[in-house]
A and B are shown apart, each in its own frame.
Chain A
């Protein structure tokens, strides 16, 4: 049943994740700086390599060559572990993300590492683990700015996790399955973005807050608390926080595509359906990444009480209303 080829295919898929997830942020960082540059009528990085293409690589080398400073009064072990708690969940979540349909190359290969029947819960669980990164970083740094950052981050991530869960529930009511492959298959005729437009809004806003991105980047608001929870980090450990932020954005975008924008579905060219499906998936994901950059360039940062009030007094009721409407519609159909 399970032969050597199956094992080899699984190893290749796992390796692909461990190569692509750390490397993709290199591209995204440059893309973000270029796009922000265009939006703000400047050129953006253009010195290192043609069209500034090697800028991120140069930044990486710079960070790698820096001193790895550990605050003497801090907690060494926790300080050392904190960045790992950011990066590892971001990579692990990709194990259940389907980037394309089942393709036939000699044998049937699904373009996902594993089709877990509780995939959505698995991703939400990893999301709730990721909050330990900022918490541990802020506490172990023994710095007041870092502590403020991690306090903000804890409250923010826990609150927006709830709204994200409520938004996902709407999709689950439609599909009746936790499996991401099933969810994408059910969107063959209509994207869930149409009936779940409120859910999409709640999900994407919560996603921005969960990844600590502008305009919800209060845990690292540089004008108030310097750099928040990672203020004491330098060198490669700082780079890991940076990497995790972009990896998480990539993940939330991919998840939004799977849940609301039909995953890999799109017009396919006969003969190379597999390839065009993957291209559709990537295209949709990158479009959502662009929305992330666009929002950062457009919106000012919220004040902290506004952020919490927005979550509990607006987003959560909206999510519950969406769930209620979805449930009524679903009952009406069946």
Chain B
């Protein structure tokens, strides 16, 4: 048990510090990299809870796809010159502080409430049940493809719609005829033309001189 507490202390301290760094650091790239640290330590907490599947998915989805795309965009836009500006969203503060206080109060209430309440919070899938089902992936799949099949399908249709929408928006209507990028044949034709031209110029030059 003590080693679990040590691991949890380490994970939560690093995750909190990195989380603060994510919002306080000036450079957007450093901020995104701090977010990666947060993602990793949250994944570590899933491992501590005995759910390796969620830990792996957490890293694949958040660290492997979402934050990488953040970084990709930042590199494309070259956000470096915005580093010195410190933006404060005044209206957000009035909304953010009450929400933060409310969330903190909720967590604190769960933490200090009666032990029998926190027993109930373990839900329908304590570690023994997960082991009986053959692992965390099996347990998740069992629930997802039976009780929550409809929400799961709705979510996937939503994601599909978003993907198609992105493709439609990204497509430039003027380039309909250029559905495939100019291939090697056209390039080769282009260079041939120019070389012919230069040859013609070359052959004409002495003529004008003559």
| Per-residue A-contact encoding for B13-54, CB less than 8 Å = 1, 0 else | 000000000000001011001001000000000000000110
Chain B residue numbers with a CB within 8 Å of A128 are: 59-60, 63-65, 68
Identity of the chain B residue whose Cβ is nearest the Cβ of A121 in the assembled complex = B56
Secondary structure at the B interface, as helix, strand, loop or mixed, is: helix
Question: Closest approach, in angstroms, between the C-beta of A204 and any C-beta of chain B?
Answer: 21
Cβ-defined partner of B137 (8 Å) among A118, A131, A135, A139: A118
Chain B residue numbers with a CB within 8 Å of A154 are: 68, 71-72, 75
* Bound-complex Cα distance A55 to B69 (A): 40
Query: How many chain-B residues does the 8 Å CB contact rule pick out?
Result: 26
Chain A residue numbers with a CB within 8 Å of B27 are: 75
B181 within 8 A of A: yes
B76 within 8 A of A: yes
Cβ-defined contact, B60 with A135, below 8 A: no
Chain A residue numbers with a CB within 8 Å of B102 are: none
B159 within 8 A of A: no
Cβ-defined partner of A118 (8 Å) among B71, B76, B136: B136
Cβ-defined contact, B135 with A122, below 8 A: no
Secondary structure at the A interface, as helix, strand, loop or mixed, is: helix
Known: A125-B59, A131-B68. A118 touches B75 (CB 8 A): no
A78 within 8 A of B: yes
B103 within 8 A of A: no
Known: A128-B65, A136-B33, A139-B29. A151 touches B72 (CB 8 A): yes
Cβ-defined contact, A117 with B137, below 8 A: yes
Identity of the chain A residue whose Cβ is nearest the Cβ of B64 in the assembled complex = A128
A21 within 8 A of B: no
Q: Which of B53, B59, B64 counts the most chain A CB atoms within 10 A?
A: B64
Would you give 24 A-B contacts (Cβ < 8 Å), ordered by A? Answer: A75-B29, A117-B52, A117-B135, A118-B52, A118-B56, A121-B53, A121-B56, A121-B60, A121-B137, A122-B56, A125-B56, A125-B59, A128-B64, A129-B63, A131-B68, A135-B71, A135-B72, A136-B33, A139-B71, A151-B75, A154-B72, A155-B72, A158-B64, A178-B53
Counting from the closest, the 10 A-B pairs by CB-CB distance are: A128-B64, A121-B56, A125-B59, A118-B52, A125-B56, A117-B135, A305-B181, A154-B72, A125-B60, A118-B53
